[in-house]
Amino acid sequence: MDDDTGALPAKSDFSAWFNDLLWRAEIMDVRYPVKGLYVWYPYGFAIRKFVYQRLRDLLDRDHQETLFPLLIPEQEFMKEAEHIKGFEDEVYWVTHGGTTPLDVKLALRPTSETAIYPMYALWVRSHADLPMKYYQIVNTFRYETKQTRPLIRLREITSFMESHTVHATWDEAEAQVEYELALTREFYDGFCIPIIISKRPDWDKFPGADYTIAVDAIMPNGKTLQIGTVHHLGTHFSKTFSITYEDKNGEQQLANQTCYGISERSIAALISLHGDDKGLILPPAAAPIQAVIIPITIGKRHEDVMAAAQKLEKDLTAAGFRVKLDTREMRPGAKYYWWELRGVPLRLELGPRDLDAGQIMVVTRTGEKSPIELATAPDGVKTVLGDITEAIRTRAEDHTRSHLSYVATMDGLNAALDAGKVAVVHWCQDRGCGDAIEEKTNASILGTDVRSEYITDTEGTCIACGKRGKATLVGRAY
């Protein structure tokens, strides 16, 4: 660990704040000696555990978890032309076993279509096998050439959830895309992360997809972060990998497929959206410790206070909360600072005077202070945890809303972008107009056909040509 001197940079200096916070709050260590590979500290990994458990729980409602190999033989990897074009510059190859060159080069999966689909070809036989909905949570490798960043752009994505579904018809696959989007919304909502859903422009879709729907969050500096994508694969891959099923009339049909991915960018968004100048702010659902008990034991009531604090810890733990009693020999102020940095939602202060009054002072990480009854502490804590979740949600929603800016003229675009906003324009979805918008701004069309409660004018006149257009996000993305 670097020496713990100086202060966390202000969040207004977002990049510095983010990088500094990752080690100060013990989330990631960036000192691993391979570029783009980072190490989870136990505290960061504990946050990951709660976030990914939630994702598993949501997926397990109608998917099944599975696990495929990391290595993909070259000939499988090279089967789908668009997929190769999209990924060939990003693939790591295993070429040797010991000192012996391999007969068949092996790709480290950058994503697992070409590992999974040859097996799906064996598994899918008849319409009765469909739909098939499997997912895995694995590491994937991408030789990223844009600037690598912990949690945001990795060369080893350590926490890649990829879902791969197979359906009889194109329409059923489309319905699955909508289902995965609803699931993603529920997932992020549980962590108070506002998302914007949009359709990637055709030239930006996943290699081998009919279309790609992206989920974006607006980061503190106004850049967007793509924190999930759902792809309708149509029959691109089923053609290549011969994934066919026998329909009710005994005829062989090509299957339709979807895939869907979420990575530790979800945790980057969580940290970035909610944190403040003092450090992390974790919504209770993601917090390894939801409440920390700080006994104030100055004077001779030490024993009484400690006994009450221990009982409080026991009661709250029994009620299902993740609680920690901090008995370290440190000044209370130093403990406050420590737990604030780590984003613990509630601090429960218990001193002799509180004890006499039969209460605990509860201080939320968002700055509210109020007493609760000691005798009914689990109820009180439950209420305040609900309150802080709502406070965190409101802050994140305000941030997102205030970083969207409607723009009606080409000339207005740069002003909005320079002010750190994501521009909302109307665009006819014509490539020429898209190019004109991107050239004008040095930013990208992030997605069109936008779905967001923050954007109401879903249709209007194309900012470039004046024809009918759909609400479209233009911004700078990570």
Which parts of 173-212 interact with ligand A5A (CB under 6 A)? 206
Residue entry with tokens 């895309």:
177
Binding mask 78-117 for ligand A5A (x = CB under 6 A): ---------------------------------x-x----
- Interface segment toward ligand A5A; rule CB under 6 A; list 125-133, 188-196, 228-236, 465-473: 228-236
Which does residue 413 bind out of ligand A5A, Zn ion, none, counting CB within 5 to 8 angstroms by kind? Answer: none
Tell me if residue 113 falls in helix, strand or coil: helix
Determine contact, residues 274/283, Cβ cutoff 8 Å.
yes
List phi, psi (to 5°) of 346: -125, 140
Element (H, E) at 170: helix 170-190
Cβ closer to Zn ion: 219 or 464? 464
| DSSP characters over 43-78 | HHHHHHHHHHHHHHHHHTTT-EE----SEEEHHHHT
Q: Which residues of 95-111 are buried (b: 16+ CB within 10 A; e: fewer)?
A: eeeeeeeeeebbbbbbb
Q: How far apart are CA 111 and CA 101, in angstroms?
A: 24
User: In 207-247, which residue ranges form alpha helices assigned H by DSSP?
Assistant: 236-241
- Interface segment toward ligand A5A; rule CB under 6 A; list 222-230, 250-258, 374-382, 410-418: 222-230
Q: How far apart are CA 204 and CA 196, in angstroms?
A: 17
Cβ closer to ligand A5A: 261 or 380? 261
CB of 404 to ligand A5A, least distance (A): 20
| Residue selected from 18, 260, 321, 339 as contacting ligand A5A according to rule CB under 6 A | 260
Contact flag: residue 433 with Zn ion (CB under 5 A): yes
Which parts of 409-428 interact with Zn ion (CB under 5 A)? 428
Encoded amino acid at 444, one letter = S
CB of 35 to ligand A5A, least distance (A): 12
| Residue selected from 107, 268, 464, 473 as contacting Zn ion according to rule CB under 5 A | 464
| Residue selected from 58, 254, 465, 477 as contacting Zn ion according to rule CB under 5 A | 465
- Interface segment toward ligand A5A; rule CB under 6 A; list 2-10, 240-248, 261-269, 351-359: 261-269
Residue entry with tokens 């598993």:
56
Determine contact, residues 292/350, Cβ cutoff 8 Å.
no
Contact flag: residue 261 with ligand A5A (CB under 6 A): yes
| Residue selected from 154, 355, 388, 404 as contacting ligand A5A according to rule CB under 6 A | 154
- Neighbouring residues of 364: CB distance < 8 A, sequence distance ≥ 6: 345, 346, 347, 384, 387, 388, 391
| Residue selected from 20, 82, 144, 304 as contacting ligand A5A according to rule CB under 6 A | 144
Cβ closer to Zn ion: 455 or 465? 465
Give the chain's length: 478
Determine contact, residues 435/461, Cβ cutoff 8 Å.
no
Cβ closer to ligand A5A: 18 or 206? 206
Which does residue 188 bind out of Zn ion, ligand A5A, none, counting CB within 5 to 8 angstroms by kind? Answer: none
Tell me if residue 187 falls in helix, strand or coil: helix
Contact flag: residue 226 with ligand A5A (CB under 6 A): yes
Q: How far apart are CA 403 and CA 422, in angstroms?
A: 6
Cβ closer to ligand A5A: 105 or 265? 265
Cβ closer to ligand A5A: 228 or 469? 228
Cβ closer to Zn ion: 332 or 460? 460
**Which of 32, 277, 24 is closest to 148 using CA atoms?**
32
| Residue selected from 76, 162, 210, 340 as contacting ligand A5A according to rule CB under 6 A | 162
| Residue selected from 219, 273, 443, 462 as contacting Zn ion according to rule CB under 5 A | 462
Encoded amino acid at 276, one letter = D
CB of 260 to ligand A5A, least distance (A): 5
Cβ closer to Zn ion: 256 or 472? 472
Cβ closer to ligand A5A: 200 or 365? 200
Show the tokens assigned to 459: 């249709």
CB of 259 to ligand A5A, least distance (A): 4
Cβ closer to ligand A5A: 212 or 364? 212
Q: Which residue is nearest to ligand A5A (CB)?
A: 261
Which does residue 462 bind out of ligand A5A, Zn ion, none, counting CB within 5 to 8 angstroms by kind? Answer: Zn ion
Determine contact, residues 235/114, Cβ cutoff 8 Å.
no
Which does residue 142 bind out of Zn ion, ligand A5A, none, counting CB within 5 to 8 angstroms by kind? Answer: ligand A5A
| Residue selected from 137, 227, 293, 443 as contacting ligand A5A according to rule CB under 6 A | 227
Contact flag: residue 257 with ligand A5A (CB under 6 A): no
Counting other chains too, the contacts that 428-435 makes at CB distance below 8 Å and 24 or more residues apart are 428/462, 428/464, 428/465, 428/467, 428/468, 428/469, 428/470, 429/201, 429/469, 429/470, 430/462, 430/464, 430/465, 430/467, 431/202, 431/203, 432/464, 432/465, 433/462, 433/463, 433/464, 433/465, 434/201, 434/203
Residues interacting with Zn ion, by CB under 5 A? Answer: 428, 430, 433, 462, 464-465
Residues interacting with ligand A5A, by CB under 6 A? Answer: 111, 113, 142, 144, 153-154, 157, 162, 206, 226-229, 231, 259-261, 263, 265
